[in-house]
Structure 1
Amino acid sequence: MATASAPATSLLSLLYRSYPNVVPSDSTEPDLPSLSPKIFPEAAYTDAEQDEINQWLSQSSDLAQALKKSETEGISKLLDIVNAHLATRTTVLGAKPSVVDIALYALLGPVVEKWSPEERTGESGYHHIVRHVDLVQNAPLFSLQIPEEEKIKIDVNDVRAAPKFAAPAEGENGGKKKKEKKGTGAGGEKEMVVGRGKNADKEQANKSVVDVAKDKVQEVVDSVTGAITGTPPRREKKEKKPKQQKAPATPAAPLSPALIDLRVGHILRAINHPNADSLYVSTIACGDAPGSDNTTQDEATGLTVRTVCSGLNGLVPLEEMQGRKVVTVCNLKPVTMRGIKSAAMVLAASPKDDDSHAGPVELVNPPEGAEAGDRVFFEGWGDGEPEKVLNPKKKIWETFQPGFTTTDSLEVAFDSGAVPQLNKEGEGSTASSTPIVGKLVTKSGGVCTVKSLKGATVR
């Protein structure tokens, strides 16, 4: 992997160019551990956070020495540590800015600049380091004074491979789960089909070819015999097959929010999207059968999971996205978001007038005891089956989402009065027998809730 050493003076020049009131131009050796509260006075740092700043400044110094000496093994090891740390954090401290972010930028910016696209976001790339460099040089949070021509050129849409999640070390969560052999029986041996060997298909194919050849030879013999005897060649009358009647068209499913596949999901882990500061990338178990469309097998747990991109970064703390139950929409058409395919959506509540998506935002909580894959539906609208994939042209989600709301009791509900299509003559006649407001529940009757937002929109 291409490397480049970063001169120690680059950090110093960046600091006094960006924060002249804190680091004057005649500074030679500023006290880095003490700079964070001065540069970012609005952020309050705990003793634990200050200790973490000191540790990462030391780590940064070790990386600088390794780069200077071109110690390939040491560089790779330290880059792995930084990349893994940033996978679950927006900044080094999580969300707060600190001088460590600037120190890492000054050190790693020249390194990232020399990396190829494959080294940046390939199968073994450092996705999260690249994302952090782009954040620090552009985010108003840091307000670094860097001319555009000096910034590291990063194409946020050029993602060669989705970032891999690190599997837990041996011993964590009861140790690694043993992978079962695919296509094996109870004794671990491959299942055999009686009467079929490995060449059965080939023999069947060859047999068909022979039969065809025999038919052709017989046709030639009949033609020659007919020419000699003056009798026409025999031809077997083919029986006309009765015309198959077309199956009657399947009647369209009644217009209902039950067409939307709502399920309990279990977020195994969530990380920052490597190329979008507003997105999280979550690994979510939604109860899918192994091999289902748009799913993969999680290496760490063996579970069948979906990868989901959510625009919640900066609205919901990343730590609240870890190891928790949520409500997911599982039959929207998958979309690729900044290079990563997203196969579901996480439901969250926000104020109805929040057109700018500024928050607050609260995740929808399934009832206690709900399991991943449990179906979730609105009371009075539980009949019928969800469509396998919602046709974007029919706008089923867009039709019903305006009715997704929260009550004064902080329960998630569907207000059919907010969906004009349900109140039309004939088409909405079924609505008269259903409640105007139906709670979002599981089969056991437990209700989905939010933390504090009343009369909010849910999407």
Structure 2
Amino acid sequence: MATASAPESSLLSLLYRSYPTAISPDATELDLAHATPKIFPHSSYSDAEKADVKQWLDDIRGLTTALGKGDQHVTDTILGNINQHLSTRTTLLGTKPSIADIAAYAVLGPVVEGWDAEKRTGEKGYHYIVRHVDFVQNGSLFALQIPDEEKVAIDLDDIRFVPKAADPKEEKERKKKEKAEALTAGQEKTLVVGQTKGKKEKDAVHEAPETTAEEAPAASKRDKEKKEKKEKKEKQPKAPAAPAAPPSPSLIDLRVGHILRAVNHPNADSLYVSTIDCGDAPGSDNTSVDEATGKTVRTVCSGLNGLVPLEEMQNRKVVVVCNLKPVTMRGIKSAAMVLAASPKVAEGEDSHAGPVELASPPADAPAGERVFFEGWSTGEPEKQLNPKKKVWETFQPGFTTTDSLEVAFDSTQVPILQGGESSTTPAAGAVGKLVTKSGGVVTVKTLKGATVR
């Protein structure tokens, strides 16, 4: 039987046995988030790696909860994420050991033990999770003290399907090579034709089939049509390139959103999962149909848990950013972002400590109504912002609140808009209020001079 049949108690027992100098046998609870440096003192960990460990521990707790509730959808989602992550890594951090690997083993061990060979290493199996479990329980990197009879039995020779991950670099080189070979072949063909043309032109004339009197008119017509088609194709002018849209916050798709309901994220303590009507047409990308209301909605994850009370996230109007690239946050795909204000902080300070207030449009504004900054209403938002162009990152520093508690855009905070004669700042002024298409103003409760994102 695997060590992790009861994850919490088994994990404690396993750590006591394996790392007696790092884990006190008198401890009844573990601060897992800070246990890694004690257990692996010869490895150093950056702040980013420590944060990754904490988040993986959250995921593993989420998996434990899902397994306990028998929630197969959440279980499959988390297992898929872990398996994909491990497909290019030896440990959850890449190559360094951490408490997250051991905690994962404590939960995944008995799960893997119950899988048949097809689920372990079949075409749709969790190959990398199985490999990780075997590595953690046997690897000298972790040096876990587990009796052989308690280890998960894994037959390393029973591989039903060998997945081959595509290497992006190799794929690029392959396509480049094929293109070069095709180009070379084309040049060689042209060269051969050129070399033989003069020598065999006379013979070619004699070898050509004769055209009868009956076939001559049809052949002449075909030649004429071919010539006209070629001339028409050659004379067709190229379409002029579309002019680039001027830099403007109007490229960002801001809309009124109606939060139908919000719940705690099952796998992350800092996130809410909201069901929001953004006015999308049925069947639009990144939407679904809400079973309770029949409305077309988006699922949105927001890091507001602990900053905005959950009851304030129910049945209310908000402003949403609808053309950011969707991202998967702890196993749930998020297709928009809720705008909220928080005090500006000095560089290096915690920008998520609060207080946080939601940007609120008028309560009677319909879901999907366009929202824009005064003076920046011209132009249509892009369907989806290209992350490489960093449109959101460019203009967000100008999102602020006024002394009148109105959400506004301060163009002086956006360097790209400060260019003398080339500046596109409206003549009306540097600061424009955030308004709905029908004229309502977006406001916050109390925060003045805040940052909005």
TM-score normalised to structure 2 length: 0.53
Give 2:442's aligned amino acid. C
- Per-residue deviation at 1:426? 3.6
Give 1:416's aligned amino acid. S
Summarize the alignment of residues 270-349 of structure 1 with structure 2, pairs less than 5 Å apart: 270-349=262-341
Summarize the alignment of residues 363-374 of structure 1 with structure 2, pairs less than 5 Å apart: 363-374=358-369
Change (3 A) 1:424 1:266: same
Mapped to 1, the partners of 2:215 and 2:299 lie a distance apart of 75
Change (3 A) 1:454 1:244: same
Give 2:334's aligned amino acid. S
Mapped to 2, the partners of 1:328 and 1:118 lie a distance apart of 31
SS at match of 1:384: coil
Q: Does 1:440 align with 2:434?
A: yes
- Per-residue deviation at 1:230? 11
- Is the Cα–Cα contact under 8 Å of residues 113 and 152 in structure 1 kept in the other structure? no
Summarize the alignment of residues 85-96 of structure 1 with structure 2, pairs less than 5 Å apart: none
- Is the Cα–Cα contact under 8 Å of residues 376 and 426 in structure 2 kept in the other structure? no
Q: Does 1:422 align with 2:414?
A: no
Mapped to 1, the partners of 2:219 and 2:381 lie a distance apart of 58
The CA RMSD over aligned residues, in Å, is 4.1
- Is the Cα–Cα contact under 8 Å of residues 263 and 374 in structure 1 kept in the other structure? yes
Query: In the TM superposition, what whole-angstrom CA distance separates every residue of 1:394-435 from its partner, at most 9, and x where no partner exists?
Result: 21111111110011111111111111111113431x315132
- Is the Cα–Cα contact under 8 Å of residues 331 and 389 in structure 1 kept in the other structure? yes
Q: Does 1:397 align with 2:392?
A: yes
Q: Which residue of 2 aligns with 1:234?
A: 219
Q: Does 1:453 align with 2:438?
A: no
Q: Which residue of 1 aligns with 2:75?
A: 121
- Which residue of 238, 244, 251 corresponds with 2:236? 244
Mapped to 2, the partners of 1:309 and 1:364 lie a distance apart of 16
Change (3 A) 1:263 1:257: same
Give 2:107's aligned amino acid. K
SS at match of 2:293: coil
Mapped to 2, the partners of 1:450 and 1:347 lie a distance apart of 11
Query: In the TM superposition, what whole-angstrom CA distance separates every residue of 1:243-301 from its partner, at most 9, and x where no partner exists?
Result: 43222211111211111111000011112222222111111111111121211121221
- Per-residue deviation at 1:149? 6.0
Mapped to 2, the partners of 1:444 and 1:110 lie a distance apart of 46
- Give identity over the alignment, percent: 69
Q: Which residue of 2 aligns with 1:361?
A: 356
Give 1:335's aligned amino acid. V
Task: Point out where structure 2 has 5 or more consecutive residues left out of the alignment.
Answer: 11-25, 30-60, 80-101, 110-123, 125-207
Q: Which residue of 1 aligns with 2:107?
A: 153
Mapped to 1, the partners of 2:443 and 2:251 lie a distance apart of 21
Mapped to 1, the partners of 2:365 and 2:264 lie a distance apart of 27
- Is the Cα–Cα contact under 8 Å of residues 378 and 440 in structure 1 kept in the other structure? yes
Mapped to 1, the partners of 2:279 and 2:312 lie a distance apart of 21
- Is the Cα–Cα contact under 8 Å of residues 318 and 358 in structure 2 kept in the other structure? yes
Which structure's residues are more often helix, by fraction? Answer: 2
Change (3 A) 1:232 1:371: closer
Q: Which residue of 1 aligns with 2:45?
A: none
SS at match of 2:219: coil
- Per-residue deviation at 1:109? 6.2
Q: Which residue of 1 aligns with 2:183?
A: none
SS at match of 1:434: coil
270-279 or 413-422: bigger deviation? 270-279
Mapped to 2, the partners of 1:418 and 1:345 lie a distance apart of 22
Change (3 A) 1:298 1:437: same
Change (3 A) 1:379 1:111: closer
Query: In the TM superposition, what whole-angstrom CA distance separates every residue of 1:153-188 from its partner, at most 9, and x where no partner exists?
Result: 379xxxx9xxxxxxxxxxxxxxxxxxxxxxxxxxxx
- Between the two proteins, the alignment pairs up a number of residues equal to 277
Give 2:298's aligned amino acid. R
Q: Which residue of 2 aligns with 1:97?
A: none
- Is the Cα–Cα contact under 8 Å of residues 113 and 153 in structure 1 kept in the other structure? no
Mapped to 2, the partners of 1:226 and 1:284 lie a distance apart of 73
